[in-house]
């Protein structure tokens, strides 16, 4: 039987897989835990669904725990998210008490395992205080921030820093997001899984069937943004960009494809704003997809002519890399992680406004050769930089350095 890892050799080459097997040798008998706040929806869950089984296959005893909280808890953590991405938000004391109490309760439930685990990865602010409630922990604890924390709202960061400063290390997606913290900080950009349902090659017949079931006319150009309904993803800006482009390409259709992450209490309001902005335009398709609609998203990304990710803030847009892997250039917001994902004018375009996005969309729609050429470059850029095998290698290296000291050389055979 072919193992999961062997299946990646066809894509990345067997040396890459050999290297993973070598790197994991000093980690064979350790236990690892990942903790976040949702099993479905959003990039963190998307990554853990693959990273966890791959670590297990490499022989590391890896578990994934989800903390539980009530709607007030998630309202509070959503405010943290907004504040870390730069919004000025006042968070009432009572909400912070809910946040801390929820973490205290979760720490009680997870105490017996987390105190004994050798390496614990805590993802984002939601479970960050767990460490504070488990002072007898034996292992190394690492805070993994997936958020664009380039210019956080200071009072909120100051509060969160009380919890994150005691970690043994933290991970940010790029240097711009790193914070002043009294421990080692690692830079690890996220990745996509080329073999997941979201990214595997699909038969043209399946793509066609999926698209026609949704009621999209494949004979006319399609603009697409796949994203949770969140103001930072700027769905209304996408509608504006579509309208400006449609002046020159009257047959254009727009698809906004999103679901809602179970830890996001604001998506309903944003969805209402999107419907209002769409104003019953029959060429705007606003999809509310179930969390497991991976093949639908795959088919949409393969079908679309123009792919936008017009975020105003973005830690790292998995959707950008997913589209590029399908040979599509991406028109992305000139912000955060998108700046390392899209090489401006080569694998897509970085834009600051709906007008900018429309200008680039129009250019690509009228220059199909260029669109294809940029798409090919986009796929190869993802292959070299943003596949899960690179991500796994960096996690393994980090773990070796946490356990054995980063000054030592890691000898590979
Ligand atoms: N996604 C999904 N269904 C949706 C919207 C998004 O499965 O309705 C996926 C998307 O394909 C990507 C992830 O969720 O894999 C979103 O990650 P990203 O980093 O782009 O944004 P986040 O939601 O983490 O801010």
263 pLDDT above the threshold of 80:
no
Q: Which residue's C-alpha comes closest to atom 10 of ligand 1? A: 319
Instruction: Tell me whether residue 413 is in a domain.
Output: no
Over the stretch 281-317, which tens digit does the pLDDT of each residue have? 999 999 999 989 999 999 999 999 999 999 999 999 9
Which domain range does residue 367 map to?
Answer: 204-385
314 Cβ inside 6 Å of ligand 1:
no
**The predicted structure's pLDDT at residue 262:** 54
Instruction: Tell me whether residue 134 is in a domain.
Output: yes
Q: Please give the number of the atom of ligand 1 that sits closest to the Cα of 260.
A: 8
- Probe ligand 1: pick from 37, 39, 40, 41, max atoms within 8 Å of CB? 41
**The predicted structure's pLDDT at residue 312:** 96
93 Cα–ligand 1 center, Å: 31
259 Cβ inside 6 Å of ligand 1:
yes
Over the stretch 340-355, which tens digit does the pLDDT of each residue have? 999 999 999 999 999 9
How many domains, in total, are found in the chain? Answer: 2
**The predicted structure's pLDDT at residue 40:** 86
**The predicted structure's pLDDT at residue 112:** 97
Helices then strands, each counted (H, E), the chain: 16, 12
Instruction: Tell me whether residue 243 is in a domain.
Output: yes
Confidence of residue 411 (pLDDT cuts 50, 70, 90): low
The rounded percent of the chain whose pLDDT value lies above 70 is 97
Residues 33 and 46 in one domain: yes
Instruction: Tell me whether residue 411 is in a domain.
Output: no
Residues 338 and 391 in one domain: no
CB-based burial label for 267 (10 Å; 0-12, 13-18, 19+): buried
257 Cβ inside 6 Å of ligand 1:
yes
Residues 253 and 117 in one domain: no
**The predicted structure's pLDDT at residue 409:** 63
Q: Are 215 and 208 in contact (CB under 8 A)?
A: no
Q: Where are the alpha helices (DSSP H) in 58-128?
A: 71-84, 93-114
Over the stretch 103-139, which tens digit does the pLDDT of each residue have? 999 999 999 999 999 999 999 999 999 999 999 999 9
Instruction: Tell me whether residue 412 is in a domain.
Output: no
Residues 318 and 232 in one domain: yes
192 Cα–ligand 1 center, Å: 11
144 Cα–ligand 1 center, Å: 18
Residues 177 and 125 in one domain: yes
65 pLDDT above the threshold of 60:
yes
Over the stretch 356-389, which tens digit does the pLDDT of each residue have? 999 999 999 999 999 999 999 999 999 999 999 9
412 Cα–ligand 1 center, Å: 36
41 Cα–ligand 1 center, Å: 6
Residues 381 and 397 in one domain: no
Over the stretch 202-231, which tens digit does the pLDDT of each residue have? 999 999 999 999 999 999 999 999 999 999
**The predicted structure's pLDDT at residue 279:** 97
Residues 248 and 111 in one domain: no
233 Cβ inside 6 Å of ligand 1:
no
**The predicted structure's pLDDT at residue 265:** 76
- Probe ligand 1: pick from 300, 318, 332, 333, max atoms within 8 Å of CB? 318
Token pair for residue 276?
Answer: 């209002």
**The predicted structure's pLDDT at residue 406:** 63
Over the stretch 25-50, which tens digit does the pLDDT of each residue have? 999 889 999 999 999 878 899 899 99
96 Cα–ligand 1 center, Å: 27
105 Cα–ligand 1 center, Å: 29
- What are the residues facing 121 on neighbouring strands? 34, 142
Rounded to the nearest integer, the mean pLDDT of the chain is 95
**The predicted structure's pLDDT at residue 42:** 83
Instruction: Tell me whether residue 199 is in a domain.
Output: no
Q: Are 192 and 388 in contact (CB under 8 A)?
A: yes
Residues 399 and 295 in one domain: no
236 Cβ inside 6 Å of ligand 1:
no
Block residue for tokens 């309903």: 268
For β-strands 306-309 and 348-351, DSSP reports them as unpaired
Residues 400 and 332 in one domain: no
Confidence of residue 159 (pLDDT cuts 50, 70, 90): very high
Measured between alpha carbons, how far is 138 from 114 in angstroms, rounded to an integer? 9
Residues 78 and 150 in one domain: yes
309 Cα–ligand 1 center, Å: 11
The rounded percent of the chain whose pLDDT value lies above 90 is 92
Query: By C-alpha distance, which of 309, 58, 315 is closest to 173?
Result: 315
199 Cα–ligand 1 center, Å: 13
- Probe ligand 1: pick from 198, 297, 304, max atoms within 8 Å of CB? 297
334 Cα–ligand 1 center, Å: 18
CATH code, 333: 3.40.50.2000
The model carries a pTM of 0.93
Instruction: Tell me whether residue 410 is in a domain.
Output: no
- Probe ligand 1: pick from 43, 48, 225, max atoms within 8 Å of CB? 43
**The predicted structure's pLDDT at residue 413:** 58
Residues 380 and 395 in one domain: no
336 Cβ inside 6 Å of ligand 1:
no
């Amino acid at each position: 039987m072919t193992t999961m890892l062997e299946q990646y050799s066809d894509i990345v080459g067997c040396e890459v897989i050999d290297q993973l097997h070598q790197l994991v040798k000093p980690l064979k008998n350790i236990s690892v835990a990942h903790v976040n706040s949702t099993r479905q929806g959003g990039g963190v869950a998307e990554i853990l669904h693959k990273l966890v089984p791959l670590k297990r296959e490499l022989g590391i005893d890896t578990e994934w725990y989800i903390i539980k909280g009530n709607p007030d808890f998630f309202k509070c953590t959503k405010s943290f998210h907004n504040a870390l991405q730069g919004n000025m938000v006042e968070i009432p004391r009572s909400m912070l008490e809910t946040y801390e109490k929820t973490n205290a309760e979760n720490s009680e439930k997870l105490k017996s395992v987390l105190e004994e685990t050798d390496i614990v990865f805590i993802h984002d602010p939601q479970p960050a205080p767990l460490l504070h409630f488990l002072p007898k922990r034996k292992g190394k604890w690492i805070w993994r921030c997936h958020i664009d924390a380039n210019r956080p709202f200071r009072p909120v960061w100051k509060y969160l820093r009380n919890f994150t400063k005691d970690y043994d290390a933290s991970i940010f997606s790029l240097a711009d997001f790193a914070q002043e913290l009294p421990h080692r900080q690692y830079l690890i950009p996220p990745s996509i899984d080329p073999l997941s349902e979201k990214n595997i090659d699909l038969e043209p017949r399946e793509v066609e069937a999926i698209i026609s079931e949704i009621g999209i006319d494949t004979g006319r150009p399609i603009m697409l943004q796949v994203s949770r309904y969140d103001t930072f993803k700027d769905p209304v800006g996408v509608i504006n960009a579509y309208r400006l482009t449609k002046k020159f390409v009257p047959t254009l259709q727009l698809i906004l494809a999103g679901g809602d992450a179970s830890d996001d209490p604001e998506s309903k309001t944003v969805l209402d704003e999107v419907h209002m902005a769409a104003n019953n335009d029959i060429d705007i398709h606003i999809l509310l997809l179930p969390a497991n609609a991976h093949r639908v998203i795959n088919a949409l990304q393969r079908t679309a002519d123009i792919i936008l990710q017009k975020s105003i803030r973005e830690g790292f847009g998995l959707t950008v890399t997913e589209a590029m892997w399908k040979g599509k250039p991406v028109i992305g917001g000139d912000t955060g992680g998108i700046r390392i994902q899209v090489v401006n004018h080569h694998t897509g375009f970085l834009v600051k406004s709906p007008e900018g996005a429309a200008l680039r969309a129009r250019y690509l729609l009228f220059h199909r050769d260029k669109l294809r050429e940029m798409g090919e470059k986009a796929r190869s850029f993802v292959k070299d930089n943003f596949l899960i095998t690179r991500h796994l290698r960096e996690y393994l290296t980090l773990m070796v350095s946490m356990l054995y000291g980063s000054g030592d050389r890691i000898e590979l055979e």
